[in-house]
A and B are shown apart, each in its own frame.
Chain A
């Protein structure tokens, strides 16, 4: 079967196959790349398929019988759905997961990949990234995350500013991230809409990466940042000013929505009247002149002016846009939950939330998630009370804990950040399962982004976004060996220096995604910390 597969491959892959340098990883790439409607035309890693190939319509239209199938066999399978199979199988069919279990029987036409000793998890999901809006290198020309000209700018959209050549995107992909939310910065009380993307290689515009299933998100910010930025620019300069600003903005949205409702009501009445008159005219010609106000009634009502910013806030009030709120302190989070309740909307996730552990019960009760760092603290006053156990305490209280990055470095090792938070929690005596901790970087962020029906766990019917790890994802020595998005391998450690990379690093920018073979580690002796994982 190998010779046949070489057709249509880029030269370097053909050569690799001819010379016998075919690793399991290469094979997976080749096969998985075939899992598209192009059928036998595998894509080279630096030429992703157009986004249409992964859309819902295509997935639905594709007949299962013609899909390429890959059975990933024998790995430790961590589903983030309550089950961990010490050795299990995952069947990928096209862009979806077809089956997960201890033993999945391979269909006749499936390609079986032996992954014994590896670990499979869902693709990692980050609720908080600024890749592309604060791209590397940190040029002033690349600072596109804060429209710091006014404190309330809900009409902004991060998606209008993302630079798809940010080299941070490919490094995030190499770290196992398959979905991320890119947010405006936190200078503004209301900064604008986020965009949820999948970091495919070879992006030429943001639209190539947009995750269509994701509802819009809105970035808001509490506390120090808005008052610092606007303190000398007309305010707000206090937390009072901040909260007044949110109230004012949402009150405007309430009135804007009311004015549209009034318009729609008038329009309906007008249409009804027009209809009634037409009917009347048809049926009763003799009564002409009876309706003296006829000329006046002929004018339709004038619609209110369309306002993109207020449309966004109305989307929040209507529950169609999910609020992601940068907020550190427990008191501010409590206040904001009350404020939101007053306007009839809910905050989907507090971001940074370094004091979430102080109100873990309230967050759980109101089902507001907390997107936190594992250990950042102290860089400003509102971050002074950060503790390592934050995520664990939120989780143990029944809340939805999420480990987010807010960093082009942290996003490359969300698994390590989750590990630090997990072990801190276990050390304080909390009972936390591996599955629960895995949910902090998969299922829970999927929920926060409103895409939990599509991604976030390894379950039948979900999109085939997954990571094959070299070992225990909680180990500092473990690396992502293959990363799948929508059934395609988008990163493979075996590609070495030939990883797809952004235009920026073409030429002298020889930054490197290469990682050497498995390292020598301290021979553990008397090792009783943490848990044992079979590799």
Chain B
């Protein structure tokens, strides 16, 4: 019935529309021809002339508001996250932020009526950060209906895929991780050559409105053989996309008039790379082989983009070059096996060797969202293999915040930063230790998870009655 009613209208429109389409296509083809000839020169010009803004702007986070009485955390040894330690420290919290940090000399300044939490004998560290993780995008890996970690199929260029749109605040993984000291995560899409946009979250389970602290803080990608059938092709593909992203950005109007040549990716994916090209946000790339790492270092140098490496199994072989190009490397210290030929030479002292060469090092649990909580064990393994302990702490806190451009707000216990804090009885990297308490955005979180509830449900089996076989 509906079809019958509509049929006359398209018929009437068909002729003029066809003429219009023909005219537009002709214009586009002419325009695209000249534009693509001009492209290489203009792209080069863009690359050399643009001086990228390396310092991210200090923007407020959505949850900021002036509120709340001061709370004082008193007496802990503060491992600040930047390598310094404050004995008998005092941390003043206001709302979601840290207002002040100091030593015992600040005790006398605490108002008598203020809320005061005694942490004598405890350690206080910044909240641990989970880098390059699908936390919040994955509930059960093998159940596709619970996984939102990637844009499936189609082009390997998926830079516009925005993780912040998919994060599940009700994911059981969030609280499982939070009660073990993970307070923030750089939630990262996976797959393809350019996987998408990274979102920074605070681990506030169930907070659907507030869990994302900032979307689109980085673009993620990966290099290696598996992608385009050839390593060189993968890298060439990356260069082409970046080139076209620049090209498109400068000729958006022409594109809308359909006057541009074909582009290497969808306009939304090219658009999403604008802030990477400007150096506003980093390009965070998974790569293991030394040749890929050197290519990325070269890319950063020639374009001024901020590039960070994840994985970096062979990073120790080119540690000097990575240090010189200021390419930070996020490693998983336990990864000491050649899972592929890209990882020949993988070793547990990779972090230590990179650090010794002057490269910046982050530490993460990679490819496994459910156990990002084991990042403290990974840090311990790095320490057991030569990385200084405070550098390892920095590698799971401040260095990660810095890599993702979030260090104005996160990563250390400093005035003005978000009050994400973990209180420990002892060495946070030790297997015997769990957090005594975890604070996210200035509030202690409940120390319960789906797992602790299951544990308590089966703590006493007698209530299930006798075994029927007896």
> Which residue of the partner chain, among A412, A428, A512, contacts B349 with CB atoms under 8 Å?
A512
Check B191 for interface membership: any CB of A closer than 8 A: no
Across the two chains, which residue of chain B brings its CB closest to A476? B380
CB distance from B193 to the nearest CB of A (A): 21
A199-218 interface code vs B (CB 8 A; 1 in, 0 out) = 00000000000000000000
> Given contacts A522-B426, A528-B425, A530-B432, is CB(A387)–CB(B385) below 8 Å?
no
> Given contacts A361-B461, A388-B451, A515-B349, is CB(A423)–CB(B431) below 8 Å?
yes
Give the one of A137, A412, A423 with max B CB within 10 A: A137
CB distance from A381 to the nearest CB of B (A): 6
A378 to B450, CA, bound (A): 12
CB distance from B231 to the nearest CB of A (A): 16
A412 to B79, CA, bound (A): 30
Check A160 for interface membership: any CB of B closer than 8 A: no
Chain A residue contacts of B458, Cβ below 8 A: 357-358, 360, 393
CB distance from A409 to the nearest CB of B (A): 6
Chain A residue contacts of B77, Cβ below 8 A: 525
Check B346 for interface membership: any CB of A closer than 8 A: yes
A352 to B258, CA, bound (A): 58
Residues 295-338 of B at the A interface (beta carbon under 8 Å): 334-338
Q: Are A381 and B143 in contact (CB under 8 A)?
A: yes
A406-420 interface code vs B (CB 8 A; 1 in, 0 out) = 001100110010011
Residues 359-387 of A at the B interface (beta carbon under 8 Å): 359-362, 365, 375-381, 384-387
Q: Of A23-31, A266-274, A503-511, which binds chain B?
A: A503-511
Q: Are A428 and B455 in contact (CB under 8 A)?
A: yes
> Given contacts A423-B431, A428-B459, A511-B336, is CB(A477)–CB(B142) below 8 Å?
no
Check A529 for interface membership: any CB of B closer than 8 A: yes
> Given contacts A379-B142, A521-B383, is CB(A137)–CB(B335) below 8 Å?
no
> Which residue of the partner chain, among A136, A427, A428, contacts B337 with CB atoms under 8 Å?
A136
Q: Are B455 and A511 in contact (CB under 8 A)?
A: no
Check A167 for interface membership: any CB of B closer than 8 A: yes
Check A20 for interface membership: any CB of B closer than 8 A: no
Check A234 for interface membership: any CB of B closer than 8 A: no
Contact count band on B: 35 or more
Chain A residue contacts of B120, Cβ below 8 A: 526
> Given contacts A516-B386, A521-B383, A527-B426, is CB(A137)–CB(B451) below 8 Å?
no
A365 to B470, CA, bound (A): 10
Check A479 for interface membership: any CB of B closer than 8 A: yes
Check B184 for interface membership: any CB of A closer than 8 A: no
Check A474 for interface membership: any CB of B closer than 8 A: yes
B431-461 interface code vs A (CB 8 A; 1 in, 0 out) = 1111000000000000000011011001101
Check A168 for interface membership: any CB of B closer than 8 A: yes
Q: Are B337 and A526 in contact (CB under 8 A)?
A: no
Chain B residue contacts of A378, Cβ below 8 A: 139-141, 172-173, 370
> Which residue of the partner chain, among B123, B347, B373, contacts A522 with CB atoms under 8 Å?
B123
Check A61 for interface membership: any CB of B closer than 8 A: no
B389-431 interface code vs A (CB 8 A; 1 in, 0 out) = 1000000000000000000000000000000000001111111
> Given contacts A393-B458, A397-B461, A524-B427, is CB(A509)–CB(B386) below 8 Å?
no
Check B122 for interface membership: any CB of A closer than 8 A: yes
Chain A residue contacts of B334, Cβ below 8 A: 409, 412-413
Q: Are A511 and B346 in contact (CB under 8 A)?
A: yes
B178-220 interface code vs A (CB 8 A; 1 in, 0 out) = 0000000000000000000000000000000000000000000
A362 to B380, CA, bound (A): 37
A242 to B382, CA, bound (A): 43
> Which residue of the partner chain, among A138, A380, A412, A530, contacts B143 with CB atoms under 8 Å?
A380
Q: Are A409 and B337 in contact (CB under 8 A)?
A: yes
> Given contacts A408-B337, A511-B346, A516-B385, is CB(A377)–CB(B370) below 8 Å?
yes
Check B165 for interface membership: any CB of A closer than 8 A: no
Q: Are A136 and B338 in contact (CB under 8 A)?
A: yes
Q: How many A-B residue pairs have CB under 8 A?
A: 193
Check B358 for interface membership: any CB of A closer than 8 A: no
A434 to B377, CA, bound (A): 20
> Given contacts A409-B335, A416-B377, is CB(A376)–CB(B371) below 8 Å?
yes
Check A520 for interface membership: any CB of B closer than 8 A: yes
A420 to B122, CA, bound (A): 21
Across the two chains, which residue of chain B brings its CB closest to A383? B140
Q: Are A167 and B454 in contact (CB under 8 A)?
A: no
Chain A residue contacts of B339, Cβ below 8 A: 136-138
Chain B residue contacts of A168, Cβ below 8 A: 337
Chain B residue contacts of A387, Cβ below 8 A: 451-452, 454-455
Q: Are A526 and B370 in contact (CB under 8 A)?
A: no
Check B90 for interface membership: any CB of A closer than 8 A: no
Across the two chains, which residue of chain B brings its CB closest to A360? B461
Residues 339-386 of B at the A interface (beta carbon under 8 Å): 339-341, 343-349, 352, 370-371, 373-374, 377, 380-381, 383-386
B121-159 interface code vs A (CB 8 A; 1 in, 0 out) = 111000000000000000111110000000000000000
Residues 476-535 of A at the B interface (beta carbon under 8 Å): 476-479, 504-505, 508-512, 514-516, 519-522, 524-531
A509 to B339, CA, bound (A): 12
Across the two chains, which residue of chain A brings its CB closest to B459? A428
Across the two chains, which residue of chain A brings its CB closest to B426? A527
Chain B residue contacts of A416, Cβ below 8 A: 377, 431
CB distance from A524 to the nearest CB of B (A): 5
Chain B residue contacts of A478, Cβ below 8 A: 384
Chain A residue contacts of B143, Cβ below 8 A: 380-381
> Which residue of the partner chain, among B79, B173, B431, contacts A419 with CB atoms under 8 Å?
B431
A167 to B343, CA, bound (A): 13
A136 to B384, CA, bound (A): 24
Q: Are B338 and A379 in contact (CB under 8 A)?
A: no
Q: Are A362 and B371 in contact (CB under 8 A)?
A: no
Chain B residue contacts of A397, Cβ below 8 A: 461
Check A475 for interface membership: any CB of B closer than 8 A: yes
A–B pairs, 22, beta carbons within 8 Å: A137-B344, A138-B339, A171-B336, A224-B142, A357-B458, A365-B470, A378-B139, A378-B173, A378-B370, A409-B336, A409-B337, A412-B336, A413-B381, A474-B431, A475-B432, A476-B384, A505-B344, A512-B336, A512-B345, A519-B386, A521-B430, A524-B427
Q: Which 8 A-B pairs have the closest CB atoms?
A: A526-B121, A530-B432, A476-B380, A527-B426, A522-B427, A419-B431, A380-B142, A512-B347
Q: A360-B461, A416-B377 are in contact. List 6 more A-B contacts (CB 8 A).
A: A375-B374, A380-B141, A505-B338, A508-B345, A515-B385, A516-B385
